[in-house]
Structure 1
C-alpha cells in the first residue's frame, strides 16, 4: 500500500498558556495550593503571575519552595490543576476565530510546556482540541522548549524548517523556535513583557489575534524570496 500524499501546507506551532488560552487564574490557584500542601505560606498572586509559563518545578522554585519539597509540590500542583485549575481559564478573545480561519491554509500544532496528556485534556475542555493536528508538549523529564519543538516537528513528519513558524508569548518560545531554525511570531497579549519579547528578537511582534494570518503569510513569503 502506498503512502498518502504529503501535506505540504505550512505549519504553525503554538504555545498554549498565554498564547492560546489565558490559564493564569487556574495556574496561580494551583501553585498556591501546592505550596500550602507542603506546609508553606502560598505566594501572592502578583508574585506568581510574574513568571508564568515555565514547568511547575521551575515556577515553584522561583517563589522559594526548597529543593527538598519540589517533587511533592509538583505532584500537589498537578493534582489540583486537573481537579480545579484546568477549568479556571478561557481562550483569549479572538483566538478561536483566528485558529478557525488558519486551519484552511495551515497545519496547526502545539508546542507547550504542559505535559502532552494535560494539554490534550485542557484543549478539549475549552473546545480547542480539534484545531490542532498534533498536540506537542512536555514529557516527564523533558521540559525544554527547543526539544519540545523538535519532537513536535518529528510528529508532524519533519516538515522543512522554512515552512514552519513558532508562535508564543515568552522568550523560551522564541529562543526555542530559533534553535530549530524556525521563524517566530511573538504575541503581546500573553505573560511576557514587551521588553522580554523584544529582547528575544522574534521576527515579528503582534498585538491582536487577527494579525496572525497576515504576519504568517509575510514571514513565509520572506522565507522563499
Structure 2
C-alpha cells in the first residue's frame, strides 16, 4: 500500500508522559551529588533545546557530571519500577496511523530506550525508523535523512513535537510543524512560535491524520 504522509514523532512529551518522571529522577541524581535542586514542571518552558543536557544545565549539574547524569537517567527510566506511561490514546494512534502513513520517531533520547518502551506495548514495529541521539546529527538533520530515505515530498511530512526546539527543527528540516500541548512545554509558549498545527489531545491529532 502506498503510504500517504511521513509523520515524524518526538518521543518524550508526545508519545511518553515523561516530564514528571524525568524531573523526579533528576532530583534524585542531584541529591546523590549534593547538588541543590528546586525545579518544577513550569521550568520545562526554559529548555531550548528541550533535551536532557539542557535540563542538566538549568538545574546546575556541572558539565563534568553530564555523562553520569545521562547514564543515570538511561538506567532508571528503563527499569520496570519506573516504566514511563504512554499518553492516553497514543498506542491506538500509532497502531492505526502506521497502516496509512510512514511513521518515524525523531528524538533527543536514545533510540533503544524508545524502541524498548514501545516493545512493551507491542507497537515497536509500527515505527519504520528510530532516529535518536545515538545517530550523528541534529533533529533537523534526521528529518532531512527521513525525507531522503522515504522519498516523500516535504509538503507531505510533519514533525510532531511538544517543544519550541521541535518547531524549529521542523522549519530547519523543511517540513510542516505540529505542536502538541500535552507534553513538556506549555501551550502558550508553543503558540507564540506559530506552529503550522497545534493539537490539545492525541485523539484530536488521530482524527486529523486518519484518512477519511
TM-score, L = length of structure 2? 0.83
127, 131, 134: which one pairs with 2:129? 134
CA contact (8 A) 1:161 1:182 kept: yes
Aligned equivalents of 1:199 and 1:120: distance in 2? 32
How big is each residue's C-alpha offset from its partner over 1:57-103, in whole Å with a ceiling of 9 and x where there is no partner? 2111111112233233323332323336751x211112222223322
Corresponding position of 1:114: 109
CA contact (8 A) 1:184 1:204 kept: yes
**Structure 1 unaligned blocks of 5 or more:** 219-225
Corresponding position of 2:155: 162
Change (3 A) 1:51 1:121: farther
By how many angstroms is 1:110 displaced? Answer: 0.9
Q: Is structure 2 residue 139 aligned with structure 1 residue 145?
A: yes
Aligned equivalents of 1:49 and 1:162: distance in 2? 30
By how many angstroms is 1:164 displaced? Answer: 0.9
By how many angstroms is 1:214 displaced? Answer: 4.6
| Structure number with larger C-alpha Rg | 1
| Residue correspondence of structure 1 range 66-145 to structure 2 within 5 A | 66-83=62-79, 87=83, 89-139=84-134, 142=137, 144-145=138-139
How big is the alpha-carbon RMSD for the aligned residues of Structure 1 and Structure 2? 2.8
CA contact (8 A) 1:33 1:77 kept: no
| Residue correspondence of structure 1 range 42-57 to structure 2 within 5 A | 42-46=37-41, 54-57=50-53
8, 12, 21: which one pairs with 1:13? 8
Q: Is structure 2 residue 56 aligned with structure 1 residue 63?
A: no
Give SS of 1:178's match.
helix
Change (3 A) 1:84 1:104: closer
By how many angstroms is 1:171 displaced? Answer: 1.1
Structure with greater contact order relative to length (CA < 8 Å, sep ≥ 6) = 2
Aligned equivalents of 2:22 and 2:200: distance in 1? 23
**Structure 2 unaligned blocks of 5 or more:** none
Change (3 A) 1:214 1:78: closer
